[in-house]
Structure 1
Amino acid sequence: MEFVRGQFPALAKDWAFFDNAGGSQTLQGAMDRIVEFLTHRDVQIGGSYEISQLAAEALMDGRRAAQTFVNAARPEEIVFGPSTTVLVQTLAAAMRSQFEPGDEIIVTHADHESNIGPWERLREFGVEIKVWPIDTSSMQLRLEDLAPLMGPHTKLVCVHHVSNILGSINPVGEIADFVHRHGAKICVDGVAYAPHRAIDVTAWDVDYYIFSLYKCYGPHTAVMYGKYELLAELDGLYHYFYGKDKVPGKLEPGNPNYELAYSMTAVVEYVQALGRRAGSDAEGRALFEAGFAAIARQEEVLTNRLLDWLGARNDCRVIGDPGNGGNLRVPTISFRVEGVNSGAVARGMDDHKVAIRFGDFHSRRLVERLGEDHDDGVVRVSMVHYNTLAELERMLSALPDVLSGAELTLAADAD
């Protein structure tokens, strides 16, 4: 942990950062790559001169790093963009001509709005949007609930890998297999999964997978993976002379942010360093997977401790699975406290320099469906591997007093 925390300058502050699902802290190595690019390679790509060639090399290095990150077949399957929200909008716009009136897209109300709203807007072109409902008793998406929605006009299923509120990991490989057997494609929002486990788009056979690097220890940019043959079929969103075969450039109008794409190399190297420190003598992608295995072990300890604490209190209710059997949960844990405003809980923790958050986290449809949209929504504690048990115990030591104070405030407001 000394090595881990030493890679993140912001962790030297007095604050305990438990709002990582909103955005993780940034690696020093990623900052160094950004500075190195802006200092030594800050020109447009495509020129014949040396510095332009170095800039192009940096962008390709970023694509290759992202290729390793998701286990893609080739670097051209990587599309960079400013955020997952923008990249899903990009994909929806580039796919629009593939849909005809009467075609169907299936979404879930458990998704972040980024993977719902762009598809909903295709209704104006005659596309029908169906909703795959979450089973509110198990808080799971079940294939038996998806099956009756699938039909000959179903073209695309959009689903999250992990809900940024519920925290449970969906079996996207099984879902992708089911969707493909019914003749449709799948688009996965991987934002809440990507910081915690190794992504493997090849093993899962997903068609599109999108996540944000700023929640994976890098700067504010994002990545979309798409199977090469599918990216080639998409409409171009750049200039008219960027033909359909100009992949991925036709989906990056104005070109991606070079220095932020280049910083992806530092994120991959950092995860590989964790794998090496955990005892792996592998290289490349295998070493990267070993690093994420070490991350998962650290996060399991944090997850179990917080769930145990919440489960031992009669006034706290976890939103989602209250257990972590098989470590099939990421350390993004939402809860409600009986009779207490969620915003008051989060603001109370501010005085202890513990950063947590409250609200619906842009998963408003889910929060409304669960009936949790009152009293400032839910409280969310979202941890990552650089958080320590000591930080968590500090939060848990402060919470009882914070909850008592919030209860008193609520009672006074009622009077």
Structure 2
Amino acid sequence: MDIEYVRKQFPALDKDFVFMDNAGGSQVLGKVIQRITGYLIHHNVQLGASYRNSKEAGEKLAWATKQVAKFINANRTEEVIIGPSSSMLFRILSLSISKQWQEGDEVIVTNTDHEANVSPWTDLEEKGIKVKIWKANPNTMELELSELKKLLSEKTKLVAVTHCSNILGSINPIKEITEIVHQNDSLICVDGVAYAPHRQIDVQELDADFYTFSWYKTYGPHLALMYGKYDLLLEMDGINHYFFKKDDIPYKFQPGNFNFELTYSLLGITEYFQEFYKQHFPNDKESSVLMLKKSYEVIAQHEQQLAQKLLNFLNENPKVKIIGNPEADASKRVPTISFVHDELDSDAIVGQIDEYRIGIRFGDFYAKKLVEDFGLTEKNGVVRISLVHYNTEEEVKRLIWALSKVI
């Protein structure tokens, strides 16, 4: 991967600081910043008016949404719902879809998910919905498909699961899980927040019914996206004003509308990946899906090299326990790496690393059930180092040097 090219696209990287808390929020592409500024200067009007500026603004946002739909390989732009955060979009989905359910219906959640894809479903217990928990194997810390099959029943309406744990870094086999869930005539809702910064999202290939991720962790603004299959969205009542019709998709799920300038800025992300592809494959011409596939393969290889260096260092320390897969295999994990220390609390480690102008983090990262069930609360959670493709081998060496002085 051309790391010099990549880093030039992120203005914030031009400083003496190492960003390794990327799972909490990545740095923003320069193209995204330019798009936000450009929209506010040239198109900052309300949509739906008859005057020219309003029409042009509507066309700009329609184009941006179309490019985002292509980015995730959705069938149609109406399947893309833009909202303020993944947490809010999951909540909107649970409120809307549960209107179709009856007392005694069941939902399955996991104990490895961020709470964003847990609380909206467990809160439905107040309406008589039964919630089952799919627990990870405490030894391997992996979700096992055999356990899911035991939990499924004829009353299961939906399974909520993460594509990738924001603590473990483990990639779950979503396509295989989806097949099992659909064979049971149930729906699946996937949290892709910790996956999207690292790998291609092809919603048609995955066949998930609902898929959500956050743009601010994927090199963009503080905004989120939820994909939903059109027929399912059409059937649901929204949460917008009463006079909107069933086919007012996605607007019936966007009370107060979506943020115009931030939505328009998503073009900066789609354009970046188009240019990333041209930079690395100058003589190739592929469809948008294959273009992204090849680009993310380059990214995955680079990230695996970074993860390998860090994991080698951590695996050699007998006082360190890696929380998750200790191997760097990019087909099994992303470079979100967590650990605890036999003698030191996680906050004490991070506090000392702060002094070296390296940003890492400790805590439960809203995956509270995982931290509690794996007995990590007494350590004040885990130390989490979350790398992305703009991180360098030199930065990883700098972190290892700092950690060697602390642990």
- Fold shared, TM-score > 0.5 on shorter chain: yes
- 1:272 positional shift: 1.9
Name the CA distance, whole Å, in 1 between partners of 2:333 and 2:299: 13
| Aligned residue number for residue 410 of structure 1 | none
Task: Note if 1:298 corresponds to 2:321.
Answer: no
Name the CA distance, whole Å, in 1 between partners of 2:69 and 2:293: 13
Q: Residue 355 of structure 2: which of 337, 351, 356 is its match?
A: 351
Name the CA distance, whole Å, in 2 between partners of 1:99 and 1:343: 43
| Aligned residue number for residue 329 of structure 1 | 333
Residue aligned with 1:105, SS = strand
Name the CA distance, whole Å, in 1 between partners of 2:50 and 2:321: 61
- 1:16 positional shift: 0.3
- 1:285 positional shift: 2.9
Name the CA distance, whole Å, in 2 between partners of 1:75 and 1:285: 16
Over the matched positions of the two proteins, sequence identity in percent amounts to 46
| Aligned residue number for residue 409 of structure 1 | none
For 1:318, give the aligned amino acid: I
| Aligned residue number for residue 398 of structure 1 | 402
Name the CA distance, whole Å, in 2 between partners of 1:391 and 1:235: 49
| Aligned residue number for residue 231 of structure 2 | 229
Name the CA distance, whole Å, in 1 between partners of 2:330 and 2:374: 25
Name the CA distance, whole Å, in 2 between partners of 1:186 and 1:47: 38
Name the CA distance, whole Å, in 2 between partners of 1:238 and 1:330: 37
For 2:154, give the aligned amino acid: P
Write out the 4+ residue segments of structure 1 that deviate beyond 6 Å after TM superposition.
Answer: none
Q: Is the 8 A contact 1:273 1:291 kept in 2?
A: no
Task: Note if 1:58 corresponds to 2:60.
Answer: yes
1:156-210 deviation digits (Å, cap 9, x = unpaired): 0000000000001001000001000001000000000000000011011100000
Residue aligned with 2:377, SS = coil
- 1:306 positional shift: 0.9
- Matching of residues 101-180 of structure 1 within 5 Å: 101-180=103-182
Task: Note if 1:238 corresponds to 2:240.
Answer: yes
Task: Note if 1:284 corresponds to 2:288.
Answer: yes
What is the TM-score normalised by the length of structure 1?
Answer: 0.95
| Aligned residue number for residue 202 of structure 1 | 204
Name the CA distance, whole Å, in 2 between partners of 1:367 and 1:45: 45
Residue aligned with 2:158, SS = strand
Name the CA distance, whole Å, in 1 between partners of 2:39 and 2:323: 43
Residue aligned with 1:225, SS = strand
How big is the alpha-carbon RMSD for the aligned residues of Structure 1 and Structure 2? 1.0
For 1:381, give the aligned amino acid: I
Q: Is the 8 A contact 2:328 2:335 kept in 1?
A: no
Could you tell which deviates more after superposition, 157-166 or 91-100? 91-100
In structure 2, relative to structure 1, the CA distance for the partners of 1:326 and 1:384 (3 Å cut) is closer
Name the CA distance, whole Å, in 2 between partners of 1:124 and 1:359: 29
Name the CA distance, whole Å, in 2 between partners of 1:129 and 1:327: 31
Residue aligned with 1:325, SS = coil
Unaligned runs of 5+ in 2: none
| Aligned residue number for residue 34 of structure 1 | 36
1:4-59 deviation digits (Å, cap 9, x = unpaired): 11111110121100000000000010011111111101111111221111211222
Residue aligned with 2:379, SS = coil
Name the CA distance, whole Å, in 1 between partners of 2:56 and 2:345: 53
What is the TM-score normalised by the length of structure 2?
Answer: 0.97
Name the CA distance, whole Å, in 2 between partners of 1:319 and 1:303: 14
Name the CA distance, whole Å, in 1 between partners of 2:312 and 2:34: 39
Name the CA distance, whole Å, in 2 between partners of 1:86 and 1:156: 18
- Matching of residues 179-198 of structure 1 within 5 Å: 179-198=181-200
Task: Note if 1:76 corresponds to 2:78.
Answer: yes
- 1:283 positional shift: 4.4
| Aligned residue number for residue 341 of structure 1 | 345
| Aligned residue number for residue 386 of structure 1 | 390
For 1:391, give the aligned amino acid: E
| Aligned residue number for residue 369 of structure 2 | 365
Q: Is the 8 A contact 2:32 2:269 kept in 1?
A: yes
Residue aligned with 1:327, SS = coil
Name the CA distance, whole Å, in 1 between partners of 2:181 and 2:379: 38
How many residues were matched structurally? 403
Name the CA distance, whole Å, in 2 between partners of 1:211 and 1:150: 25
Q: Is the 8 A contact 2:300 2:330 kept in 1?
A: no
Q: Is the 8 A contact 1:275 1:294 kept in 2?
A: no
Residue aligned with 1:333, SS = strand
| Aligned residue number for residue 406 of structure 1 | none
- 1:387 positional shift: 0.2
